[in-house]
A and B are shown apart, each in its own frame.
Chain A
Amino acid sequence: MSNESQIVSPSTNPYSSEHASVRAELSEIDASIRTASVFFVVSAIGWLMIGTVFALMAAFKAHEPDFLGAYEFLTFGRVRSAHLNAMALGWGNNIIFAVGLWIMARLCRSPINHKGLLLIAGIFWNVGLTIGIFGILRGDITSVEWLEIPKYATPMLAVSYALISVWGVMAFRFRKGDHVYVSQWYILAALFWFPWLYIVAQAMIIWFPARGVVQSLTNWWFAHNVLGLWLTPMALATIYYLIPKVLGRPIYSYYLSVLGFWALAIFYNWAGVHHLIGGPIPVWLISAGVVASVMMVIPVIVVGLNHHMTVVGLHREVWRSPTLRFIVFGAISYTLVSLLGSAMALRSVNEVTHFTHFTVGHAHHGVYAFFTMVMFGGVYYMMPRLLKREWPSAGLIKIHFWGCAIGITIMVVALQTGGWIQGLQMNNAEIPFLETVQNTIPWLKARSVSGLFLTVGHIAFAVNVFWMLFAAGAVRAKKEPTLLTKEGGVA
């Protein structure tokens, strides 16, 4: 170990594994997955930027309906759906393939083979998605929420997904050592759950439409589980892997990990029906969804407690490490958004929040403040190890963090306050509907402002990543870890 890296405390030094043999093995695994993971990170960032542009357009259109109103392919319904799919399947899935597969390979102590094939599968995923997003914009959108991509692009997505997940399963199959860590359970489960959800939903809604509202049931079983059984487990796996890794301290309780995992596995997948409360669906099905949503309090509290107890007392290290600053922001958001989600599933609360911007705020609270922030943290940890170089700029990381943290906070607060008022007014037939619409406009403008903050954060992130990839000279030679505060310092 070089002298420079001994300056930082061992607990935040990313190269802190005690044994040279462990470091050598991890290094070998990192080298085996480098090309594929870097490809997925770059693709993810590309989609993040595309998704951001669509997001800004949709957000602006929501209060300025004439903005770009003359172009059919940029009408609100399509731009908004292009945004959702670019973010969920472009940013979300690519970053999961990058970070999730890498964590799986490391924990299984199993280098990746046939990496050329993995890369090809990854290219197919992104080509399929590009076709899909073009399809949405040209009017082949399905108008099924979370499944907007037209029929001609989805088989390619399903096949390339199945191929990519094979590497995760194979890493697990050829793992070394007896013990299977909690992150591996989550990743293995999610790799298996997602294709099941996707294929069933495609079959029952698009290819062989089920009778009437059975489609809607399927739709929300799928759409809520994209969050619950795909994005959430992958982000939790990342949190479980990186908090102990950076702090050099084991997870607080093995038993809480077990309880949290199984409670999530059992309850989350029933919860989606709460999107149909008050709808033309048998009440017993909706009640099942409400019960499951409330039961989600158990895994959320358990996981939150487990993470909190692992971090407690080391808050200064959390604040100093780029990885943990993002990851802990995400972990706290997970607790908040999940508890709020359980409350929103109660019929009396849902009567107000359903059909309003409150739900949009909630969705971003989950997918952005939780999932995306955690994945940013994962990238900050993974890239220096894959590329064997450091982040060029701590300043850009700070801009990234503050842009995203402030942006998403404004968005969630604005949409949920505005949405709550909108819901109360919508349920009061004395107030003309048009008036309730106009009362949402200031809150929608606040969302557009939040989008600008997020955009600044994303640009800082992208610049830092590409600077690092094409680094030369002093940046490339930089040895000590890029940390956000000085030893013992504040802010």
Chain B
Amino acid sequence: MRNIALLFCGIFFALAFSYTGLLVTGHIQLGALEPSTETLVPSDEDPSVMVMPEGETLYPLIPSGLAEQGKKVYIEMGCIYCHSQQVRRQGFGADIDRGWGPRQTVARDYVRQDRVLLGTIRTGPDLAHLGGRYAGDSGRDWNHLHLYNPQIVSKGSTMPPFAFLYKTQEIINEPSARALDFPPDSEYGPEPGYEVVPTRRAEALVEYLLSLKIDYSLPEAPIPE
């Protein structure tokens, strides 16, 4: 090849083409996406225009401060390298049949996130709707035991233990209300007279996991009845 100007233009435009096609247009299409109410209603002024009804909750919700701290722990631990956070549509994979979420996730589900953790591998299950699957106090307890050592509640799992997020301490007077509630005779429980309590990081992480919920509809992705 002798025409260097042509060579260089080709090299430049080849990448410029996909940069424009994928990133710039992707940004134009999705860059201004905002949270929304679950459904839209016809506008008063022009019934052909759909608008958000006033006073209704906007989804996705703003996460709590503790959950945001927990997301940092999730990032630090590299959870994304085994867990995805996206639900594929019914009929493509078995995500919904496995109960990983009531509907597929869409771009709007992620608009409040400064770091999007879609993930590309499911060595472990998808976590997009983990907080819906393990809710409330029992969900919190389950997650703490599971993080401390997955074998306690999920025998045969290949997930590593995160016991370093917990501390074992001597019980002085009353046992702590936050202490992990091991099943009787669990080989992973502490010595008699001792208890295992979550550190602040473990509490934040579990709060984050419980906040992962696809329990709301969006105009473009309603939860099927």
Contact = CB atoms under 8 A, between A and B. Distances in A.
A221 B162 contact: no
Contacts of B10: 262, 265
A100 to B, nearest CB: 15
B81 A142 contact: no
A79 B31 CA distance: 34
A433 B78 contact: no
Interface string B71-109: 000111111111010101100111001100000111111
A351 B22 contact: no
Contacts of A141: 75-76, 78
A66 interface: yes
A314 interface: no
A279 B11 CA distance: 30
Contacts of B109: 280
Interface in B1-27: 1-2, 4, 7-8, 10-12, 14-15, 17-19, 21-23, 26-27
B52 interface: no
Contact of B161 (A65, A197, A279, A429): A65
Contacts of B124: 437
Contact of B93 (A212, A265, A426, A434): A426
Contact of B94 (A221, A427, A444): A427
B14 A437 contact: no
A62 B154 CA distance: 16
Interface string A256-274: 0010001001100110110
B221 to A, nearest CB: 9
Interface stretch (B40-48, B113-121, B172-180): B113-121
A225 to B, nearest CB: 8
Contacts of B105: 279-280
Contacts of B117: 143
B30 A212 contact: yes
A276 B75 CA distance: 20
B158 interface: yes
B164 interface: yes
A280 B115 contact: no
A93 to B, nearest CB: 19
A63 B157 CA distance: 9
Interface residues of B, number: 72
A355 interface: yes
Interface in A210-245: 210-218, 221, 229
Interface stretch (A118-126, A177-185, A387-395): A177-185
A216 to B, nearest CB: 5
Contact of A188 (B11, B88, B157): B11
Interface string A342-380: 000001000100111101100000000000000000000
Given A81-B81, A285-B26, A433-B125, A180 B114 contact: no
B123 interface: yes
A189 interface: yes
Contacts, number: 219
A185 B199 CA distance: 55
Interface stretch (A70-78, A327-335, A454-462, A469-477): A70-78
Interface residues of A, number: 86
Interface in A13-27: none
Contact of B12 (A61, A80, A192, A272): A192
B62 to A, nearest CB: 14
Contacts of A356: 121-122
Given A193-B11, A211-B111, A217 B26 contact: yes
A14 B108 CA distance: 60
A282 B77 CA distance: 30
Most buried by B among A205, A282, A357: A282
B58 interface: no
B224 interface: no
Contact of A211 (B1, B33, B79, B123): B33
A140 B22 CA distance: 29
A10 to B, nearest CB: 29
A141 B107 CA distance: 25
A159 interface: no
Most buried by A among B18, B93, B114: B18
Interface string A181-201: 010010011001100110010
A278 interface: yes
Given A143-B81, A280-B110, 15 more contacts: A62-B123, A76-B82, A77-B80, A80-B78, A141-B76, A188-B7, A189-B14, A200-B19, A205-B115, A211-B27, A211-B33, A212-B108, A215-B116, A273-B22, A347-B92
9 contacts: A179-B1, A193-B11, A196-B15, A215-B115, A218-B23, A278-B86, A280-B106, A347-B92, A427-B94
